[in-house]
């Protein structure tokens, strides 16, 4: 399988390493900065280098494209590849807004090419353990999720609305949002209320957010997003589940089950190490890429696919609208 990469930043180097670890053919790279492409090409042995996705597609000879460019390029680059019959894994957030995400889904449906959104935490061993064990918690009433950078934040296009669409909510909050939704069994959002603002740095996107999402299964998710925060209750994607029979959490990952008669609490530990040497290890992305390849080979719709990414974008759009109007947004 021949893989091309749009974007030469940190995360696409991680994806390229995953493809290399899986023994795939790293075929081409796209970036408007020639020096960046040269460095990326040398690192991963890629000789085919292009300034645009359109030029790459014109030459052909690739099976799949990984889109890890600034957010404003996600939709046009993904749609162009899908129309050409090239499978796509696109980084989160899927697009600038839900309208673009819908157009991406339609392009995949029409062409038959696979569309996957890189919501990486769905492939994490801790997340998968908690999802499997969470049935012991009874009905999940509420969740709490963290998507926060403490004493740190990105620079460059991430902090420019015209290129990113949104700030910490779109960048980090979406991790907490998707993780909660995955653990809940992918319910649909019913309503969103949010307070989002910029308090720690000077740029035109948000660095702080509190979001409350009501789901169609009756659960409610509370999500914190942020850059440059003075404190975080847990690392990226840390999630708590409050059930009728107990409590579950990620990082450290465990269950707390309450005996209804004795009120004694039983702790069930996952056995997975915390804190990790690396919170986002290469193995996480290797597993994600391997799944992407399996979906292509088996002609299987990925989860997270376009619909999962679209649902998240609807929540993100609603959160920004709610914060602007001060009202609950019904979906």
Non-local CB neighbours of 98 within 8 Å, separated by 6+ positions: 310, 313, 314, 316, 317
- What kind of architecture, by CATH, is found in domain 122-279+312-330? 2-Layer Sandwich (3.30)
The closest alpha carbon to 170, from 136, 222, 209, belongs to: 209
What is the DSSP code (8-state) at residue 153? -
Q: Can you give the pLDDT at residue 301?
A: 97
Pairwise CA distance, residues 128 & 112, whole Å: 29
Non-local CB neighbours of 125 within 8 Å, separated by 6+ positions: 272
Classified as helix, coil or strand, 195 is: strand
Are 178 and 312 in contact by the 8 Å Cβ rule? The answer is yes
Are 64 and 40 in contact by the 8 Å Cβ rule? The answer is no
Mean pLDDT on 295-313: 97
Instruction: Give the residue extent of every domain in the chain.
Output: 2-119+285-302, 122-279+312-330
Label residue 262 by pLDDT band (50, 70, 90). Answer: confident
Q: Can you give the pLDDT at residue 259?
A: 85
Q: Can you give the pLDDT at residue 142?
A: 98
The closest alpha carbon to 98, from 309, 313, 307, 305, belongs to: 313
Mean pLDDT on 284-306: 98
* pLDDT over threshold 90, residue 12: yes
* pLDDT over threshold 90, residue 123: yes
Pairwise CA distance, residues 60 & 162, whole Å: 30
Write the pLDDT tens digit of every residue in 318-329. 999 999 999 999
Label residue 304 by pLDDT band (50, 70, 90). Answer: very high
Are 315 and 177 in contact by the 8 Å Cβ rule? The answer is yes
Q: pTM for the whole thing?
A: 0.96
- What kind of architecture, by CATH, is found in domain 2-119+285-302? 3-Layer(aba) Sandwich (3.40)
Placement of tokens 């914190």 in the chain: 224
Mean pLDDT on 33-62: 96
| Buried-exposed string 222-258: b where 16+ CB fall within 10 A, e elsewhere | ebbbbbbbeebebbbbbbbbbbeebebbbbebbbebb
Label residue 261 by pLDDT band (50, 70, 90). Answer: confident
* pLDDT over threshold 90, residue 260: no
Write the pLDDT tens digit of every residue in 61-71. 999 999 999 99
Placement of tokens 């009905």 in the chain: 139
Phi-psi domain of 203 (left: phi exceeds 0; alpha: psi -120 through 50; beta: other): beta
Residue 266 has φ and ψ, to the nearest 5°, of -105, 125
**Mean pLDDT (the chain, rounded):** 97
Write the pLDDT tens digit of every residue in 131-170. 999 999 999 999 999 999 999 999 999 999 999 999 999 9
Write the pLDDT tens digit of every residue in 184-231. 999 999 999 999 999 999 999 999 999 999 999 999 999 999 999 999
Label residue 284 by pLDDT band (50, 70, 90). Answer: very high
């Amino acid at each position: 399988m021949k893989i091309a990469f749009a974007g030469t930043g940190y995360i696409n180097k991680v994806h390229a390493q995953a493809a290399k670890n899986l023994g795939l053919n790293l075929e081409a790279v796209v970036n408007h900065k020639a020096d960046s492409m040269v460095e990326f090409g040398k690192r991963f042995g890629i000789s085919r280098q292009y300034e645009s996705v359109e030029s790459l597609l014109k030459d052909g000879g690739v099976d799949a494209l990984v889109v890890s460019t600034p957010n404003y390029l996600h939709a046009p680059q993904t749609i162009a590849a899908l129309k050409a019959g090239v499978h796509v894994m696109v980084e989160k957030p899927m697009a600038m807004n839900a309208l673009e995400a819908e157009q991406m889904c339609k392009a995949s449906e029409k062409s038959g090419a696979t569309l996957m959104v890189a919501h990486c935490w769905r492939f994490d061993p801790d997340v998968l353990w908690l999802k499997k064990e969470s049935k012991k918690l009874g009905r999940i009433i509420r969740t709490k999720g963290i998507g926060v950078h403490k004493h740190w934040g990105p620079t460059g296009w991430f902090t420019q609305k015209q290129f990113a669409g949104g700030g910490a909510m779109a960048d980090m909050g979406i991790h907490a949002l998707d993780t909660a939704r995955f653990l809940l069994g992918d319910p649909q959002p019913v309503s969103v209320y949010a307070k989002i603002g910029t308090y720690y740095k000077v740029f035109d996107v948000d660095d702080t957010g509190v979001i409350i999402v009501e789901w169609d299964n009756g659960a409610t998710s509370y999500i914190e997003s942020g850059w440059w925060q003075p404190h975080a209750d847990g690392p990226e994607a840390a999630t708590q589940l409050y059930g009728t029979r107990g409590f579950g959490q990620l990082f450290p990952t465990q269950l707390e089950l309450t005996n209804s008669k004795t009120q004694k609490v039983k702790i069930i530990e996952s056995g997975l190490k915390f804190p990790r040497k690396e919170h986002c290890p290469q193995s996480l992305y290797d597993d994600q890429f391997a799944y992407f390849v399996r979906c292509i080979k088996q002609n299987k719709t990925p989860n997270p696919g376009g619909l999962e990414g679209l649902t998240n974008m609807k929540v993100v759009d609603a959160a920004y609208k709610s914060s602007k109007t001060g009202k609950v947004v019904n979906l």
